[in-house]
Structure 1
Amino acid sequence: MSEFGELVQNHQIKPFKNGKPFNPIEPSSSNTDPTLSLSDSLLLKILQKLPESQQSNDVSLVCKRWLSLQGRRLRTLKVLDFDFVLSGRIVSRFPKLTHVDLTNACIMNPPVNSGILLCHKSICLHLSSDSSNWDFLEENLLHSDVIDRGLSVLGRGGCDLLKLVVINATESGLLSLAEDCSDLQELELHRCNDSLLHGIAACKNLRALRLVGSVDGLYSSSVSDIGLTFLAQGCKRLVKLELSGCEGSFDGIKAIGQCCELLDELTIVDHRMDDGWIAALSYFENLKTLRISSCRKIDPSPGPEKLLLSCPAMESLQLKRCCLNDKDGMKALFKVCDGATEVNIQDCWGLSDDSFSLAKAFRRARFLSLEGCSVLTSGGLESVILHWEELESMRVVSCKSIKDSEISPALSSLFSLLKELTWRPDTRSHLSSSLESAGIGKRGSKFFKKSVLH
């Protein structure tokens, strides 16, 4: 097998011309291709053994047969030109595709002289240096009819599509795709709206769904309770759901919780939901992980406390780049998620000692990670974690108001009981190295001694 790889690497296997081995220097009659006697299936197995650096360019340049075999091996593709989809060449060239990303192909992005490149997650586009038009993406999206035709072509191609990412599709395009790609399991819909979600029920085997409604500065669309209800009634097998830039309220979230009984992971990004939506989280019976990211508010008016019931299966609460100065919203969120065993707060502003004190509700917490919480102090941290009797691991990074000099004897004793401890609150901290040399944070204990709490 290694000898075969060397033949490819050293270009001793010659390219073809008119179906015959060809060498521009030696006569063609003196060349023989040692792979002619190998079946396609056997040759594919051999090609898989080559280093990754040689599995694309080097292999596909050998001859037309190897180019075709390389196309059959590709499973994931990010398309840049939508005409490649409309022509059907995407399916004939790569018949075994399972993951297709059409986001950049859905944008009419002519080359410009400027080298300015705007990137937002999976979307990349060039901008003119003198452009003041912030609706550039909105105005340069391909028309929905074109996107739908492309989805129809992709579906009719017969590939075993499992994941699709697309912008500006409609209900018609989604229905045509779902009809031919019944095994579709993961879908990411940008510039999504209620009308599009009306056809979501056609994707009967969908397991993971990401909906992006509005993105500030890029495009705007609306996903309300109507769309969330369509989603709830049509995607009852969902396991993972992300709602980004979506509207809605208590009713829409409640519908998802009641209908999507298998859902165990929910992500909320930059939500525009009405007050009171947090109370609906208690209807998710199997929700284990809740992520809230890039939200300028949590829930300023969560409603009566009697409606704030715990999520029975909650294990992990993750907050990232959120504004946490809303005390009522934080209190409601912590109450609904009080069964979480992992709490992760990263790069959130407004997390003061007062608001973090509400985290005492996490009586079962075993892991805490704090990163980029610049307002929280050592006293605020201590006032909470001394109440967590099952805490086993802790990570504190880039929290500049937490000082080594303010570590109390009680907190020091708590450190000695932890199984794992990462302590780098600021660049001046010297405690981390001393803890490591003393073995503190690696001893471990199932429960704290009661004496530590007093």
Structure 2
Amino acid sequence: MAAPEGGQRIAINDALTDDELRAVLARLEREVDRDAFGLVCKRWLHIQSSERRVLRARAGHAMLLRMADRFPGLVELDLSQFASRSFFPGVTDSDLGAIATGFRSLRVLDLRECKGVTDVGMISLGTGLHSLQCLNVSGCRRVTDKGLVAVSLGCSNLKSLYLANCKLATDKLLEALSKNCHHLEELGLAGCVKITDSGLSILADGCKYIKSLDVSKCSKIGDIGVSRVAEVCTSLKSLKLLDCGNVTNNSIISLSQSCVNIETLVISGCHNVSDESIRSLALDCGPNLKVLRMEWCSKITDLSVSVVLQNSRNLVALDIGCCDHVTDSAFQALGISGTSGLRVLKISNCPRITVSGIDTILQSCKSLEYLDVRSCQHVTKQSCYQAGLQFSEGCKVNFNGSLSESDSLDETYF
């Protein structure tokens, strides 16, 4: 209650309009404070609900229908499932039907690892969510071209589509995206093993504005498809080709000639990539390159690492693990190029790197946050201590552990 001087007390709900209350709600940054706002009274709860734009929830047909009534302005819905975030029975096609009819303004939908979803649910989304811009169905292994093509037909405003490990997706989907989704900017196809160069080439013809493409572990992808994407999608900033064994120097040279704004490149396990193309990449794209991952590239030598370090002043993460031709000499370029902004350096299982090379790295990389030297036989905690090396407090050094272990930084940077 508010009491003006010499006057009668006035209830705050009588004093403030809905727009003024919305202005108050907009100033609350913490989610807990926004939730507390809605507990004041039914009017404030209605205002809070109408202003809510993002929701992370569990599934359930009835629950979703109630949420649709309560949150009419919702634009982002997260129903993803993981080992640490799972619920029974999970998302079903019926749930997707409720979403398609109840959340007509939805622009972002996350269904990662919702393994119960099928083409029936995808068809519902394509029919009802015409405003959808981002869809993540990674790990939804029962989804096929039939459902995904329906999404591409009904959701022509799609900008981001992620379907990692949707092994039933084929080139038919890429053809549909090329015809209907001309605004597509991000496409994740990692583990979609039926995708081929032909499909990738067709995709590029219609989706010229792709900025991020992940075809990791797509064994049928090679130079023809990658080169075509590079030639047409000149705005490309991120390309991931992990374990694409058919990719050679031709792909990387095409990329360096056409996509000078590339910031992230993953070519790990591309055994046919050598110094020739990496030199071209560093000279043409060096100023913009931020993340380069090329572990298990057996033909990479000191020349590649040196030219990258000399020409990529904005590089923040570099992985050259298991490149057994790389020696301490590769890091002399750090002194030539000045203080490096590298924050992550992974050189695990590089048998020719010694404590001397680590010393050179530490002298130049003052911003280093993580250094991976696992299975480097000449670099141990004891040998670094005996050499008097000083690691900064902010730098985590990984001396031990299996190379098969994943690291949280992989997802952050690579």
Note the alpha carbon deviations across 1:312-341, whole angstroms, 9 max, x for none. 123335356x753x4215679748956332
Residue type at the aligned position of 1:173: S
Q: Does 1:268 align with 2:218?
A: no
Shift of the alpha carbon at 1:194? 1.3
Would the alpha carbon gap of residues 63 and 314 (structure 1) be closer, same or farther in structure 2, given more than 3 Å must change? same
Matched position secondary structure for 1:205: coil
Q: What displacement does 1:382 show?
A: 3.6
- Which 5+ residue runs of structure 2 have no aligned equivalent? 3-7, 374-380, 393-414
1:205 aligns with 2:157: yes
Instruction: Verify: 1:76 aligned to 2:54, yes or no.
Output: yes
Give, in whole Å, the separation in 2 of the partners of 1:97 and 1:78.
Answer: 11
Report the secondary structure of 1:397's partner residue.
strand
Per the normalisation by structure 2, the TM-score is 0.68
Structure 1 residue 284: Cα displacement: 3.3
User: Would the aligned equivalents of 1:212 and 1:246 in 2 still touch at CA under 8 Å?
Assistant: yes
Q: Partners in 1 of 2:338 and 2:279 — Cα distance? A: 18
The partner residue of 2:144 within 184, 193, 214 is: 193
SS at match of 1:316: coil
Residue matched to 2:395: none
Q: Which has the higher helix share?
A: 2
Match in the other structure for 1:316: 262
Offset, 1:172? 2.2
SS of match in other structure, 2:296: coil
Post-superposition offset of 1:36: 2.6
Q: Matched residue of 1:198: which SS?
A: helix
Distance 1:149 1:53, change over 3 A: closer
Indicate which of 94, 106, 123 corresponds to 1:172: 123
Say which is worse superposed, 265-274 or 379-388, in terms of deviation: 379-388
How far, CA to CA, are the matches of 1:231 and 1:357 in structure 2?
Answer: 40
Contact 2:145/2:170 (8 A) holds in 1: yes
Aligned residues: 355
Contact 1:309 1:336 in 2 (8 A): no
CA distance change for structure 1 residues 308 and 424 in 2, over 3 Å: closer, same or farther?
Answer: closer
Give, in whole Å, the separation in 2 of the partners of 1:224 and 1:41: 50
Q: How far is the alpha carbon of 1:71 from its aligned partner?
A: 0.8
Q: Which has the larger radius of gyration?
A: 1
**In 2, are the aligned partners of 1:308 and 1:335 still within 8 Å (CA)?**
no
- The structure-2 alpha-carbon separation of the partners of 1:330 and 1:210, relative to structure 1 and needing over 3 Å to count, comes to farther
User: How many angstroms apart in 1 are the aligned matches of 2:317 and 2:29?
Assistant: 40
Residue type of the alignment partner of 2:41: C
- TM-aligned CA distance change 1:370 to 1:94, over 3 Å: closer
Spell out the pairing of 1:118-267 with structure 2 (5 A cutoff). 118-119=83-84, 124-125=85-86, 142-144=91-93, 146-155=94-103, 158=104, 160-166=105-111, 167=114, 168=117, 170=119, 171-178=122-129, 181-182=130-131, 184-190=132-138, 191=140, 192-199=143-150, 200-214=152-166, 221-247=167-193, 248-267=195-214
Q: How does 1:424-439 map to 2 (within 5 A)?
A: 425=371, 428=384
* Contact 1:236-1:259 at 8 Å conserved across structures: yes
1:23-42 matches, within 5 Å, as 33-42=11-20
Residues 369 and 394 in structure 1, CA contact (< 8 A), matched pair in contact too: yes
Equivalent residues of 2:250, 2:277 under 8 A apart: no
* Counterpart selection for 2:22 from 39, 44, 67: 44
Distance (whole Å) between structure 1 residues aligned to residue 251 and residue 191 of structure 2 = 28
Q: Write the distance in 2 (CA, Å) between the matches of 1:243 and 1:333.
A: 24
Three-state SS of the structure 2 residue aligned to 1:103 is: coil
8 Å contact kept, 1:367–1:391: no
Aligned partners of 2:249 and 2:273 also within 8 Å? no
Distance in structure 1 (CA, Å) of the matches to 2:254 and 2:199: 17
The answer to whether the 8 Å contact 2:75/2:107 transfers is yes
Counterpart mapping for 1:265-304 below 5 A: 265-276=212-223, 277-292=225-240, 295=242, 297-299=243-245, 301-302=246-247
List runs of 5+ in structure 1 lacking aligned partners.
5-29, 105-116, 128-139, 215-220, 435-454
Task: Tell me the TM-score normalized by structure 1.
Answer: 0.63
Letter in 1 for 2:98: G
Higher strand residue share: 1
Residue 250 of structure 1, CA deviation: 0.7
Query: Matches of 1:210 and 1:234 in 2, distance apart?
Result: 17
- How far apart are the structure 2 equivalents of 1:164 and 1:372? 32
Amino acid across the alignment from 1:149: G
Equivalences for 1:414-433 in 2 at 5 Å?
Answer: 422=368, 425=371, 428=384
- Cα distance in structure 1, aligned partners of 2:298 and 2:86: 39
Q: Given that residues 273 and 297 in structure 2 are in contact (C-alpha distance below 8 angstroms), is that contact kept between their aligned partners in structure 1?
A: no
Q: C-alpha displacement at 1:398, in angstroms?
A: 5.0
Structure 2 CA distance, aligned partners of 1:314 and 1:237? 21
CA contact (8 A) 1:206 1:238 kept: yes
Q: Which string of whole-angstrom CA distances, capped at 9 and with x for unpartnered residues, describes residues 344-363 of structure 1? A: 245x6535574665567869
Contact 2:301 2:323 in 1 (8 A): no
Task: State the alpha-carbon separation in 2 of the partners of residues 100 and 278 from structure 1.
Answer: 33
- Of residues 70, 92, 111 in structure 1, which corresponds to 2:69? 92
Corresponding residue for residue 403 of structure 2: none
Q: 1:46 Cα shift?
A: 1.9
1:290-316 Cα offsets, whole Å, 9 max, x none, are 2427x4x222x3479599633512333
